[in-house]
Structure 1
Amino acid sequence: MRVRCAVWRVLLALAALAAAGAPERGRTAEGDEPGAEAPKQKGKGPSREPLKLRTLKDGIPVVGLRVKADAAAEHGVPVGACFEVRRGNRLAGYAEISRFEDNWPCLAFLLGSGRAEDDLLPVTAPVPYVQLLTDERDALEAKELKALLADRLVVAELSDRIALDPRCTARIVILHGGIFFMGGDPIAQPFAREGHLVIVDTLAYSHIKGEVADETKFKEPTTLRTVREEGFTLGFPPESRIPWYGKKGKGYVARYIAGIPQADQAEKLLATDDSTKNSALLEVDLGGRLAVMDLITPTGRAGRDPGAKNKLIFAARALGSGPRYARYLPSKPEYDDVIKWFDDLAEKHKDGITKAFEGGAGKKEDFIYSYTLGAKEGRPLIVLAGALRGTNWLGSTALLRLAEVLLDNPESDPKIDWLLERTRIKILPILNVHGYRNNQDPNENGVELDRNFAYQWDEHADKKARGREPFSEEGAVVVRNTVEKEKAAAFLEISVDDYDAGYRFVRARDGSPPQQALLHGLVSVLNARLRYRFVVGDQMLQLRVTRDAERPSAANWAGSTGALAASLRICGDGEDSITNQDVAVEACLHFLQAAALSLEKPEPPPEPPKKATKAPARKPAAK
């Protein structure tokens, strides 16, 4: 009970901190509460120098860098820029630049808190200014690049007189036709030789080389075949087959560079076509890098349509803002494979993760297992659940990748060590084992697990979907036992939705105002983290917060117990598993951090240094 009271006190404090920057209202997603909440987009760029947290006399927290407000963007501290607040190796909170006070950037805390001399680290990846040089500035790929890079992209048309922007330290060159490079290459290779990055479309590169790269026609959708996992193909293991094509009439098209580079050439082959006879992705070392990829022929919408879902992934990766943790997994793994991967991870990290039997339908093949990481008993418990619907395998594999990141800590991130010291994290990767095995949403009894919870169960119209009574199904019982009996402080379930509904956190209907403020704060930080990383259709991928509908659901029920509860909704399928997995891992990490920060006891302010006391003057000795 004392822990619960402490949680509410901290959450109330967070709500007060977040009140100054309440999120805007956004569009409604199907199945969510009308009038769903959407956070403002935050941040324009990273800081260019180490920053400290200072405090003015009136108590306003400020960044220790005095700049003119109209020049703030040039210093990397525009209004909306988001920072991680770190005290040594400990995460203290997250804050954003809310305004300028007498030319001092002032902070508003989104999560946690801070004090003087805390370090401020930019959340958004350091993306350079990029100049797009193209002969069709209104083409689909130009609009998608603008969605990806936003304020960092400058567009110029290829012509006899090109206006080159001196701010831009990277270039993208796209040529749809014409004879621009017949007189030589004045813009791509020379810039790369100066040590810069240049991304060149396949057709433009073929013109630079004096070759022809005609469209290759196919009767069926075609793929790229990765050869190396390095550079901008990180996350795509060798032999990955990535759908990459455009539609033309009743067939499909793609474009390649003829032949395969030899070992003694500057060109490094990263991917070929299906026949393995032609080059699909190249990296050319000219002092700087020249990255060659086909950006024109995939005619579908980036991040959304088949054949084009990964269209901008390689470009974002080359620019330094691409996927951070994800691994490409284009098809659903079997249940036994998922459990074996978790078991192998537990064997590798014997002291870091514990496997436990949680329940099942009486048959071993339907057993439900959990994997617990982090601190031992006595620390707050946070529960992460996957596959309430049997078809939602993307959530299960994302939880596996999350466990790998937490245990392996590939970037040596001190926030992960801090998190594992302060919380217990229980992962339930597959709750609907029968549905998962048979690739169906309901379980063996025809019940949708997410409708089998004791939250407005009587009012739910679909009697078959809800089950014969609340918690009649094994997967729902496992969630109840974990949240209620183990007194979980937070619960997050991962589900998959369609693109129109969008990527989002669906919060528990009865979530308290402090919990709502907490979720809005973490989504603001998460959006800053994902900035410049992915595009879905014609928009940069950003999440929002919505409210669950009046219906039974795991999140609604967990929220009614007092726990911080939500459902994370990702979109798509195996083709865009890189995007889904990366978003899910980042979202889970930030959910864990937000929950952990809300449970931290505020540190007392440091005591002011004591003034040295002067020794009393010695009286002269009596004569």
Structure 2
Amino acid sequence: MIVACRWAREMCAWLLAGFASVALAGNLLRNPGFEEALEPVWQKRTPEDAARKLYRVGEGGRSGAGAVLENVVPAYTRLRQGHDRSISVEAGSLVELAAWIRSELDTNAVTTLQLYCMDTEDGILSQPTSRPIFGACDWTQVRLRTQIPDRTTYVMVYLQTRNGAGRVMFDDVALTVKRAPVPRVPPPRIALFTDLSATNVVIQRARVLFEEGLILNTKDPAAALSNAAGALVLYQGNLPPALVPELNRFAQAGGRVFMDMRAFARSRGVEARMAEVGGVAAGLSWQARMAAGLRVVKEGDATAGFRLGQIMPRAGWPDGKLAVLPSESSAWPGIEVLAVAPGGEPGLVRQPVGKGAITACDLLSLREPYCRHVDAYYAFTPVSGALGNPVRFGEYYEKRLSYEGVVEEMRRLAQAYPNVIRLEEEGEASDGNRIWSLNLGKPDAPLYFLYAAAHGAEWEPGYGLITFARRLAEGRLRDVVDLERVRIKILPLLNPYGYEKMRRHNARGVDLNRQGDFEWERFSGRDSNKDGVYGPNDFDWKGTAPFSEPEARVYRKIVSDPALFCLLDFHGNSGANDNKLAFHAFSAHPDNELKAWELQRITNERLRGRHLLRQNDETFASCYLLERVYSDSPRPTLQNTGARGRFGLLIELTAIYPESYGTLLQTDVTCEMCRALFLAYPPPQQ
């Protein structure tokens, strides 16, 4: 009952938006049945030549006229509408592109629908494609559903075929809005008090993290705090005399305040001191850089995810110093010391005030929270934690474990919760290692299969899955996951060899995520190592046959379970263009797409305002969210095998780091996405 109620609450906004979409169901296309001449509404994107023809027929279509794409020889032929920016759809809308297709093309032909979402400068934001029709077919309706991404100015519809010769006819094309955008919950209002300029990079980063919720007001503190959820106080100089009593009154009533340590010290009549916390130079080892920071001595929202005694990587740039309180401040009445510098000085403190609290540490000395800046990776984590959105589930790993170390971690977890978690051996890997899984829930219930590291170098989400199992066993997800209604199999590292060697492939040079039997024969990868042949150790070498690799056979055994209901496949990349995204399985149940977008919505509502990070391919730090959801293509990925006719998706997260310094963020995000899975894909009623 608890799970059902929670799911109902989280789905409420989506359902209301769905009801509102009825009025939006009209066809957005002109001349959709080709009863009039093709041009100018429909444009021949590939002009007619010796290889192709594009024309209208007055009869022979499904309901009268039709549009014909004819390839005299194998060619890529396309007809489109919207090139004149005439089709506008509000960002966040769920749309469906549908068309009836009859093909007389040869067996090599691939016929699809495609939707281009374009920005103001004619840049492509997304270009989802429908499931293909291969070769010939009688009249068949093809559908493509997608969500219009942010910043979309206009969309274009494409009818297209490639690779084959012959004729294909299209009729009754429709582009309709199936669901209006779901309104976003507005971000909490954070009052900013500062003497820094608006162009200061710390202020700019805070604006990215808190979005439009960050409000600058230094002239009237009482008015600014009257409707705020929190306050951010960043001063290099002296604080205005009227500010401190207003902040205390705000906290007394339950408000949350974060102050840079300099401002906090001055509010108590002292000056902060600069303490050395460790080296930050690029030439140091990763472990040495991870040792530069504050040692956690008390748990709290600002230190969530770090265990007592762990070092929170945090150091000023370029001197490795942080602003801290004098040592004697530990004895101040009401001060809680959360983390200390190597010399014992308070470096992260919390002062309870009435129903609220004031939290402080050095923020202004830190450089950009970039994915390779160990010392600043968690620059804003204490800030978001103190102001109301702390790490919920993540945990910090002090080092990257050996494969045997990961298995031992799984074994200890199962031993700690013997009535909840079962450790099971799944089979042998290509390097002789054994593959292990953690199993929870009711044996005969619908099965959720969560796995990671089919590409061994993409290891961090696997740690997140172990953390998710731990949080389930601790009961921290009881309001979402009812272990009496589901069975969960968690396989953190599918590719032990790739994990140990930090490689994509298994020990035989095979890309395990091209080992499925879905369209394996049609798939052709590339000769990435330039040795003249597509084969072992090429980027996406698919092996000699589907499931030729022992790891893939382990996977096949698991997904052959008739109770399998849903799967979640985690991958990773260090470039922002290649993570923060999901692919819903091409082969899955038709409702899979809707559920994938609901997972995105639930995840982002929780993560918004929590983690700030700049990755490769980004010019500035951004809030870490699940930004994009696409359809997988017809290729032999493992999820296209396992989710065939069922439910499932693949998620790419920030990963492939040389050490474990990013694991607090990575495990937290992984757990949030797993949590969202059980809300967006609830188990069937039994």
Query: TM-score, length-normalised on structure 2?
Result: 0.65
Instruction: Tell me how far apart the structure 2 counterparts of residues 500 and 243 of structure 1 sit (CA, whole Å).
Output: 22
Structure 1 counterpart of 2:452: 386
Q: Are residues 408 and 209 of structure 1, via their aligned partners in 2, closer, same or farther at CA, if it must alter by over 3 Å?
A: closer
Instruction: Tell me how far apart the structure 2 counterparts of residues 429 and 18 of structure 1 sit (CA, whole Å).
Output: 41
Could you tell me how far 1:35 is from its partner in structure 2?
4.5
Pairing partner for 1:317 from 362, 385, 388 = 385
Pairing partner for 2:437 from 370, 375, 397 = 370
Could you tell me how far 1:206 is from its partner in structure 2?
2.8
Pairing partner for 2:565 from 474, 489, 499 = 489
Where do 5+ consecutive residues of structure 1 fail to align?
A: 1-12, 42-106, 111-121, 602-623
SS in structure 2 of the partner of residue 443 of structure 1: coil
Amino acid at match of 1:491: L
Structure 1 counterpart of 2:668: 582
Amino acid at match of 2:637: S
Structure 2 counterpart of 1:437: 500
Structure 2 counterpart of 1:615: none
Task: Note the alpha carbon deviations across 1:274-304, whole angstroms, 9 max, x for none.
Answer: x233221011234342211112111213777
Matched, 1:152 2:213: yes
Pairing partner for 2:360 from 292, 295, 302 = 292
Matched, 1:198 2:261: no
Pairing partner for 1:138 from 199, 206, 209 = 199
Structure 1 counterpart of 2:463: 397
Structure 2 counterpart of 1:209: 268
Which deviates more from structure 2 when the two are superposed, residues 202-211 or residues 474-483? 202-211
Instruction: Tell me how far apart the structure 2 counterparts of residues 135 and 200 of structure 1 sit (CA, whole Å).
Output: 13
Instruction: Tell me how far apart the structure 1 counterparts of residues 514 and 328 of structure 2 sit (CA, whole Å).
Output: 55
Matched, 1:567 2:650: yes
Q: Are residues 209 and 325 of structure 1, via their aligned partners in 2, closer, same or farther at CA, if it must alter by over 3 Å?
A: same
**Cα root mean square deviation, aligned:** 3.6
Q: Are residues 26 and 407 of structure 1, via their aligned partners in 2, closer, same or farther at CA, if it must alter by over 3 Å?
A: farther
Instruction: Tell me how far apart the structure 1 counterparts of residues 245 and 305 of structure 2 sit (CA, whole Å).
Output: 33
Q: Are residues 586 and 185 of structure 1, via their aligned partners in 2, closer, same or farther at CA, if it must alter by over 3 Å?
A: closer
SS in structure 2 of the partner of residue 332 of structure 1: coil
SS in structure 2 of the partner of residue 247 of structure 1: coil
Instruction: Tell me how far apart the structure 2 counterparts of residues 27 and 108 of structure 1 sit (CA, whole Å).
Output: 19
Q: Are residues 277 and 406 of structure 1, via their aligned partners in 2, closer, same or farther at CA, if it must alter by over 3 Å?
A: closer
Could you tell me how far 1:184 is from its partner in structure 2?
8.8
Pairing partner for 1:259 from 327, 332, 338 = 327
Are the equivalent residues in 1 in contact too, given 2:449–2:488 (CA < 8 A)? yes
Structure 2 counterpart of 1:541: 624
Q: Are residues 252 and 263 of structure 1, via their aligned partners in 2, closer, same or farther at CA, if it must alter by over 3 Å?
A: closer
Instruction: Tell me how far apart the structure 2 counterparts of residues 225 and 38 of structure 1 sit (CA, whole Å).
Output: 44
Aligned length: 497
Are the equivalent residues in 1 in contact too, given 2:94–2:181 (CA < 8 A)? no
Which deviates more from structure 2 when the two are superposed, residues 197-206 or residues 447-456? 447-456
Q: Superposition pairs for residues 97-246 of structure 1, below 5 Å?
A: 129-136=189-196, 137-157=198-218, 164-177=224-237, 179-180=238-239, 185-189=244-248, 191-193=250-252, 196-213=255-272, 220=280, 221=289, 222-246=292-316
Are the equivalent residues in 2 in contact too, given 1:242–1:575 (CA < 8 A)? no
Instruction: Tell me how far apart the structure 1 counterparts of residues 447 and 479 of structure 2 sit (CA, whole Å).
Output: 20
Task: Note the alpha carbon deviations across 1:404-451, whole angstroms, 9 max, x for none.
Answer: 22222126x33322xx22222111222112222333332221222212
Instruction: Tell me how far apart the structure 1 counterparts of residues 487 and 574 of structure 2 sit (CA, whole Å).
Output: 32
Instruction: Tell me how far apart the structure 1 counterparts of residues 430 and 613 of structure 2 sit (CA, whole Å).
Output: 43
SS in structure 2 of the partner of residue 596 of structure 1: coil
Instruction: Tell me how far apart the structure 2 counterparts of residues 27 and 536 of structure 1 sit (CA, whole Å).
Output: 26
Which deviates more from structure 2 when the two are superposed, residues 330-339 or residues 132-141? 330-339
Instruction: Tell me how far apart the structure 1 counterparts of residues 194 and 464 of structure 2 sit (CA, whole Å).
Output: 37
Q: Are residues 369 and 169 of structure 1, via their aligned partners in 2, closer, same or farther at CA, if it must alter by over 3 Å?
A: closer
Could you tell me how far 1:109 is from its partner in structure 2?
12
Task: Note the alpha carbon deviations across 1:9-35, whole angstroms, 9 max, x for none.
Answer: xxxx9998797674488799xxx9845
Instruction: Tell me how far apart the structure 2 counterparts of residues 539 and 509 of structure 1 sit (CA, whole Å).
Output: 29
Are the equivalent residues in 2 in contact too, given 1:382–1:488 (CA < 8 A)? yes
Task: Note the alpha carbon deviations across 1:571-623, whole angstroms, 9 max, x for none.
Answer: 144323222111111111221333335x337xxxxxxxxxxxxxxxxxxxxxx
Could you tell me how far 1:480 is from its partner in structure 2?
1.3
Could you tell me how far 1:564 is from its partner in structure 2?
1.6
Q: Are residues 312 and 431 of structure 1, via their aligned partners in 2, closer, same or farther at CA, if it must alter by over 3 Å?
A: same
Structure 1 counterpart of 2:347: 280
Q: Superposition pairs for residues 1-40 of structure 1, below 5 Å?
A: 22-23=93-94, 34-35=127-128
Instruction: Tell me how far apart the structure 2 counterparts of residues 160 and 351 of structure 1 sit (CA, whole Å).
Output: 57
Are the equivalent residues in 2 in contact too, given 1:368–1:431 (CA < 8 A)? yes
Instruction: Tell me how far apart the structure 1 counterparts of residues 557 and 20 of structure 2 sit (CA, whole Å).
Output: 33
Task: Note the alpha carbon deviations across 1:121-159, whole angstroms, 9 max, x for none.
Answer: x997x97532110112332222222222234332124x6
Q: Superposition pairs for residues 412-561 of structure 1, below 5 Å?
A: 413-417=478-482, 420-457=483-520, 458-461=523-526, 462-464=534-536, 465-486=541-562, 488-501=564-577, 502-537=579-614, 538-543=621-626, 544-549=628-633, 551-559=635-643, 561=644
Could you tell me how far 1:307 is from its partner in structure 2?
2.3
Q: Are residues 315 and 402 of structure 1, via their aligned partners in 2, closer, same or farther at CA, if it must alter by over 3 Å?
A: same
Q: Are residues 18 and 372 of structure 1, via their aligned partners in 2, closer, same or farther at CA, if it must alter by over 3 Å?
A: farther
Amino acid at match of 2:672: E
Structure 2 counterpart of 1:610: none
Q: Are residues 539 and 440 of structure 1, via their aligned partners in 2, closer, same or farther at CA, if it must alter by over 3 Å?
A: closer
Instruction: Tell me how far apart the structure 2 counterparts of residues 26 and 305 of structure 1 sit (CA, whole Å).
Output: 34
Amino acid at match of 2:647: L
Where do 5+ consecutive residues of structure 2 fail to align?
A: 1-13, 23-91, 96-115, 120-124, 130-145, 151-178, 281-288, 527-533, 615-620
Q: Are residues 510 and 449 of structure 1, via their aligned partners in 2, closer, same or farther at CA, if it must alter by over 3 Å?
A: same
Q: Are residues 541 and 362 of structure 1, via their aligned partners in 2, closer, same or farther at CA, if it must alter by over 3 Å?
A: closer
Instruction: Tell me how far apart the structure 2 counterparts of residues 522 and 305 of structure 1 sit (CA, whole Å).
Output: 30
Instruction: Tell me how far apart the structure 2 counterparts of residues 33 and 383 of structure 1 sit (CA, whole Å).
Output: 29
Percent of aligned pairs with the same residue? 25
Could you tell me how far 1:40 is from its partner in structure 2?
6.5
Instruction: Tell me how far apart the structure 1 counterparts of residues 200 and 430 of structure 2 sit (CA, whole Å).
Output: 58
Could you tell me how far 1:195 is from its partner in structure 2?
5.0
Amino acid at match of 2:255: H
Matched, 1:408 2:478: no
Query: TM-score, length-normalised on structure 1?
Result: 0.71
Instruction: Tell me how far apart the structure 2 counterparts of residues 228 and 337 of structure 1 sit (CA, whole Å).
Output: 27
